[in-house]
A = this chain, B = another copy of it.
Amino acid sequence: MARARRVTSIDVAREAGVSQATVSYVLNNVSHQKIAEETRQRVFAAVRKLGYTPSAAARTLRLGRSDIVLLLIANIPLGSTAIELIEHLTADLERHGLSVITRIESGRTVASLWKDLAPAAVVSFAPLARQHRADMRAAGTYVVNVWGDSDGEPNVMAQGQIRVGRMQIDHLVSRGHARVGYAAPADARVRAFFEPRLEGVRQGCAEHGLTPPSVREVALDMDAATAAARAWRDEDVTAVCAFNDEIAIALLAGLRAAGLSAPGDLAVIGVDDNPMARFAEPPLTTIDQHMGAVAAELADTVLAGLERPDARRSAPPESTTLVIRRSA
């Protein structure tokens, strides 16, 4: 039993009683070709009737470019926040005929994957060698960098992350704190988010007339967390902005181990509203980012970069909320 032959545009043409070229014109509504409305409808009807789906491989071969958006993600845990972002981004771009595909990266093999897929765009939440970026761009791929900005390349998400840091410090100041610390991640792979968040805290300190935050790296182990808690305490820091909820939770555990408590001895505020945040001792105050809005902004960047006419140009909606629990 022969495997069912694929439905091609030729089949559609035959069914609609037009030429294959016409089918192509209609389906890609080519601007410099006027097609009679009645013909268009016949083509669409035939497409539906036969269940025609264009062959991506053939399109790619012909155009030298696929309709894929390659999402590169560093090999870090993806919390519900990150998953939500990816999900929204996927849905948003899908709506514009782009297929989002994700690659969890260690780093080396991206180049070959890129060549294989010939994606329309690459959105990178992972370090991407300058040379690779250059190659991709030279070949016409639109590259969006959401990693760091040390390499002379702006991080498109930096603004939002700066706002997150601002919200943390603003809340602490509103609670009367004047000397704050910043709990930085030990994992360099999250630099892309760490740097702008810290920058936001710094800006906030400057604006409120406070001395800059005392930055300490807090590794995810009990000893490190305890030591950090004591050190901040010793320099009269009364509140700490943590890079994220995991570090905040570690710090709370460190406080307990040091015989201190939050928010009395040291107030702690996180970022993400991790599902575990409410179970911390005490329950963790944190910043929640609404990924729908963040994703919409990112999707827009991509569409604009691909020069799609349908990129929105509206101001992004507010995308972060303060979740007050007990730790700050």
Contact = CB atoms under 8 A, between A and B. Distances in A.
A246 interface: yes
B86 A104 contact: yes
B104 A90 contact: yes
A281 interface: yes
A278 B102 contact: no
Contacts of A80: 76-77
A10 interface: no
Contacts of A78: 77-78, 83
Given A116-B67, A140-B3, A87 B60 contact: no
A314 interface: no
A221 interface: yes
Contacts of A140: 3
B99 A101 contact: no
A324 interface: no
A117 interface: yes
A281 B281 contact: yes
Contacts of A4: 138
A275 B220 contact: yes
Given A83-B104, A106-B91, A112-B53, A276 B276 contact: yes
Contact of A253 (B102, B103, B281): B281
Which has the most chain B C-beta neighbours within 10 Å: A113, A116, A117?
A116
Contacts of A281: 253, 256, 281
Given A91-B106, A102-B104, A139-B3, A61 B53 contact: no
A9 interface: no
Nearest to A68: B116
Interface string A74-104: 0111111011101100110010000111111
A207 B52 CA distance: 56
Nearest to A90: B104
Contact of A221 (B58, B83, B256, B278): B278
Interface in A43-65: 53, 55-58, 60-61, 64
A109 B99 CA distance: 9
A83 B77 contact: yes
Given A57-B61, A102-B102, A106-B91, A279 B83 contact: no
Contacts of A120: none
Contacts of A82: 77
Given A56-B116, A91-B106, 14 more contacts: A3-B140, A57-B118, A67-B116, A77-B275, A86-B104, A99-B112, A100-B103, A101-B103, A102-B103, A102-B104, A222-B279, A225-B279, A249-B276, A253-B281
A-B pairs with lowest CB-CB distance, top 7: A253-B279, A56-B116, A57-B60, A57-B61, A102-B102, A78-B78, A77-B80
27 contacts: A3-B140, A6-B64, A53-B112, A57-B57, A58-B61, A75-B87, A76-B80, A76-B83, A77-B82, A77-B83, A77-B275, A78-B83, A87-B104, A90-B104, A90-B106, A101-B101, A102-B102, A220-B275, A221-B278, A222-B283, A246-B276, A249-B276, A249-B279, A250-B276, A252-B279, A253-B281, A276-B276
